[in-house]
Structures are given as C-alpha cells and as structure tokens.
A and B are shown apart, each in its own frame.
Chain A
Amino acid sequence: MNNMPAILVLAPLLGAFFACLAAWIQKQLSYYIALAAMAVSCFAAVSVLTDVITSGTMQYRMAGWAPPMGIELRIDLLNAMVLVLISAIAFVNLVASVKNVEQEISDRAPSFYVMYLLFVVGLLGVTATGDLFNLYVLIEITSLTSYTLIALGDKDRAPLAALNYIFIGVIGASFYLLGVGYLYITTGSLNMADVAVILKGIQGSSAVLTAFILCILGVWIKMALFPLHVWLPNAYAFAPVGFARVVAPLMTKVMVYVMVRLMVTVFGLEYIFETLNLADAVVWLAVTAILAGAFTALFQKDLKKMLAYIIVCEIGYMVGGAWLGNSLGMTGAILHILNDGLMTFALFLAVGNIIYMRRQTAFSDLSGLFAAMPWTMAGFVLAGLSIIGVPPTCGFFSKWYLVLGAFEAGAYHFAAALIISSLVCAVLFFKVFEICFFEADSGAGDHNPAKVITEAPVSMLASLGLVSVAIIAAGIYAGTIVDTIILPFLQ
C-alpha cells in the first residue's frame, strides 16, 4: 500500500512534536525541523499528484479500518492539486520568512514554528480527508492555530483582532458541525462518498436541504464571503507577516476547496442546480462580494489592508464561478484556487520584504520603493498585474474561464462585476505603483536616497522570484492544468 497520503499529513504533525522538543535543546533547531518536515510533506504531495494523474483516485485507509466506519484519506485530482499548492507555499514561506520571524517575534520563534506546522497539518488534512466529521476537526485545528498565530502579531491590536476572529470562526465551524449532524441523521454515515450515494435516494428531504444550507453557510463564514468577511481584514493585517503570508493565500482558498468538494462530491451538482433554486441568489451574493471588496479596497490607506480587501473580492470570484452552474464556471473557480493562491502569496511575500526593510506599509511610507527595492517591486508588479488579469500571468486565464462561464449561464451581472473589479484593481495597483515609483523617498535624510538600494535578503528575493516564475508558468500551462486535472475531475 502506498503510504504517501498519510506521510503527507503526518510529516508536519510529527515535525511539530519534534520541533517543540528540540526548542528545549536549541531554539534554532526547531526551524530546521520545521523545514525538513515541510520538505518531506512537499515531496509526498508531488508524488501523490503524479500518482493520481497516472493511476486515478487514491484511497488511504487510516489504520487499516475500511470506510465507511474508518476514516479515509481520499485524494483525487482536485485535492492532489490543492495539496501540492499548500505544501509548496508553506515550504517556500518557511524559507522566505525566517528573517521576518527573527525580526518580529524572535523570543517566540520556536512556538511560531510549532504552531505553523500544526496549521499546515490542519490545511493538508482538510484537503486530504474523505470524512465529514474529520473535516470539522481539522478545520478547527487550522482555526485554533491561526488564532494563536494572529495574536502573536501587532502587540496592541492583534489579540483583539484574533478574539473577534474566534467569535466568528466558532459560529462558522459550529454551523458546519450542525449541518454534518443533519446529514448523519438522514444518512447514518460520515464518509463523503458513502453519504453521496445515500443522498441520491432522498433528495427531496427537507433535512438534507437544512444540512446543505448549514454546511455551506459555515464554510462561507470561514472563507469570509461578504457580508461575513468582517473578521478578515484586521486579522490578516495585524498578524505577524511570516504568518500572514501563508494564511492569506491558503486559508480562504482551502475553504473554497471545501465548498467545491461539498458541492461536487457530497451533495452533487445535479441536486444543487436542479432540485434547489438557490444558484441565482448566490451569484448575486458573489457579485456584491466582488464589488464591495473591490470598492472598500479603494478606501484603504495601508497596503496590507488593501490586499486583505482584495482577498474578499477574489472570494467572490470563486464562489460566483462555482455557483454559475456550468462546467466553465466551475473550471474557472477551481483554476482560480490555484492562481489566487500563487498571486496572493507573491503579493504578501513582497509586502513581507517591504516590512522587513521599512517596518511600515501605510501608503505614505511606500515612497521611493522602486529605487530602493527594485527586485521586490518587480515581483509585486507581476503579482499585481496577475490580480488585474493581464496575460500571460495566470490571473488572466481563470478570469477568462469565469467570464466565459458567466456568458454561458447568462449571468451578465457576474461578468460585469468581474470586469469592473478588474478595473478597480488596476486603479488600486497603479495607485500603489505611482507612490512607489514617482514619489521620492522623504525619510532618512540621505543626500541621494533614490540611488541607495536597500534590498531584502537573498532568501526572500529568491522565494519571490520562484513564485513569480510559478505565476507565469501557471499562466502558460493553464490549458494543460485544465485538461489534465480540472476537466477529468469534473466528469
């Protein structure tokens, strides 16, 4: 039996345990253990992805118990792709953020790495599991670790932001748990594949409808779909940057994955789009989310806050695409999970570099950045263009599928929202570029500040470079990704 799916999730878990012990011997050790654990996990994820592409869905029985009694890791094309995304981003971020962690929370560095690994365990587990209750537990592991990590940030405001996140996060997870309860009452099973088979016979049941609404509502709260997004901007803006870099691209995207999984695998698209009459309302909700996120981002005066609202806007893209009810929209939404993860990661990597050199990210502190940090800004511009949707960056292709899907479904308001938000994003990013490029560096009092290059350390730049290459590559190979991963999954 191929043990890679288990290694994938267990490597960071064991790593967290040993990193915790190693901190007693020497603080620096916990970082290297974290790095090694993530490298193992990353390797396992890639090997699982290649296996799944060549030989189809992988089922791993935890401890040898057969489903539906036992807990099963079930990895098909969709979650194999998301698993690679998670483990790769978490690994690269460890390399990139070690200096940020030293600068911001040097006294707590070992606890940071332990919690970081547990956070990644949660994300990987959520993605890999084939069991509904297991999914809840892993969502809570992810959330609990993110509460603690966010609280490590800004001393004045991070604890308050984290506490607000707890209140809303608990409501979200509880709704999901309640939905699972209703599913259990009606089907008597918790295994996703098993539940899906039983649900086919009882689609008219109002208990199933309740279960569906509760589960989806819970996941929406966790993914910060407007108007349930209020916790996100503060939580992400005040988190330590080493964590913001990984939570911003991954947390919301994994929740989108959970939504897609519930829709496609558990409840079935047929049930959602033919029996229920909710799709139009949800697409409208996504339209509001896109517009509200984009326009609120316009009023922000801090780079991190602005990016946080862009995430709210991007969530609207994915939810809307998934609910359009055709395979183009779903393809766009799934492709956007990958692309948005990469783009947001690149943006936050650049923000982390800026914070490392300047400590501040208010717009007034960004002047002269192009001259001072040319490589960081090059990465930032590339990721910004990708968010706007300029080819050949990957952001263009997922948007293309989403727009095509919107036209096919006749959801012109969704297509319009996509285009308007792209324009607003263009305004947003060019505003930042303008500040960084044209306004001379006011501070420091140097004679010729524009000439002084104060670039971030090589490890951070290399990570940003790698992700920038990935953004272009994901754009160029978008067709291959769709043909080998997404379309076979949807059939």
Chain B
Amino acid sequence: MSDILPLIVAKYNFWLYIILMMIGLYAMIAKNNLMKKLVGMNIFQTAIILFYVSIGYKHGATIPIIQGGHGGHSAHDAVIHAADYINPLPHVLMLTAIVVSVATFGVAMALCVRIYQRYQTLEEDELRMRVSERITHE
C-alpha cells in the first residue's frame, strides 16, 4: 500500500483520466436513456482530451510563445531551452480532437431527434419494444 500511494500521487493525471473514462464508459453501457449515453460518450472523449493536455505540461514551464516575437533580435540572441516551454503539440492535436468530438456529438444528437420523432421515446427498452412491435405488425 505504501508503494502504491506515491505512484498514484506522482501520476495523478493518468489516474484521473482513467476514472473519467470509466465513468463515461459506464454511462454508455449501463444507462437506459439515449441522451445519457451520449453524455457518457462525451465524458469518455473528454477524458482522452484531458490526458493529452496533461502530457504536454512541464513543471515550471511557461506558455510556448518566445519572448520578442517575430523578427525580434532577442529571440535569436537568447538561447531557447525547450524545458522552459510547455509542449504545444499535444494541445494542438486536441484542437482537432475537440472538433471531431463536437461533430460526432452533433451527428448523434441529430439521430436522437430522428429517433424521437419516429418513436416518441429515447428510453432504450421502450424503443426495443416499439421496434419489435412494428416488425410483428407488418
């Protein structure tokens, strides 16, 4: 037990993203309402986004904008240490991932609207019942 605790504290970002991910996965599997499942899906995706954001972080580093800016002499004169700046690449990747997750969420909600218009419910058990009713009627 005494070994595990420092491990948890040192890598707390990993533990947090796994917990968040499992909450999302639980909601996607166990919830009956389609909207709740969608929210679970969103939590699931957000957990991974947070994971990526956290891996770019460095202790004591600052935002990755070089002092002096474009064409300034100071940027070329001073030696730039990569350790002084947070790694921006994972953050930039996540901008794309956020766009993807928003798009997926949008498509999924549009489908929910279609399903609701057709069956007047978003509860999965009722949906299953009504779909099978339709088949036996035909």
Interface set of A (CB-CB < 8 Å, partner B): 133, 136-137, 140, 143-144, 147-148, 151, 155-157, 159-160, 162-163, 166-167, 170-171, 174, 177-178, 181, 184-185
Contacts and interface: CB of A to CB of B under 8 A. Distances in A.
Interface centre among A143, A160, A166, A185, by most chain B C-beta atoms within 10 angstroms, is A160
B85 interface: no
Interface string B106-138: 011001101100100000000100010010000
Closest 8 CB pairs of A and B: A159-B114, A140-B100, A163-B111, A159-B111, A166-B108, A159-B115, A147-B107, A174-B48
B44 A163 contact: no
B93 interface: yes
A239 B67 CA distance: 55
Contacts of B52: 181
Contact of B103 (A144, A151, A159): A144
B34 interface: yes
A314 B75 CA distance: 58
Interface majority SS (helix, strand, loop, mixed), chain B: helix
A133 B28 CA distance: 25
Contacts, number: 69
Given A159-B115, A166-B111, A167-B41, A181 B48 contact: yes
Contacts of A133: 93, 96
A140 B104 contact: yes
A151 B107 CA distance: 10
Contact of A148 (B41, B89, B107, B127): B107
Contact of B55 (A137, A159, A162, A184): A184
A171 B51 contact: no
A137 B99 CA distance: 10
B23 interface: no
Contacts of A159: 111, 114-115, 118
Given A140-B100, A156-B131, A171 B44 contact: yes
Interface centre among B51, B111, B114, B115, by most chain A C-beta atoms within 10 angstroms, is B111
B25 interface: yes
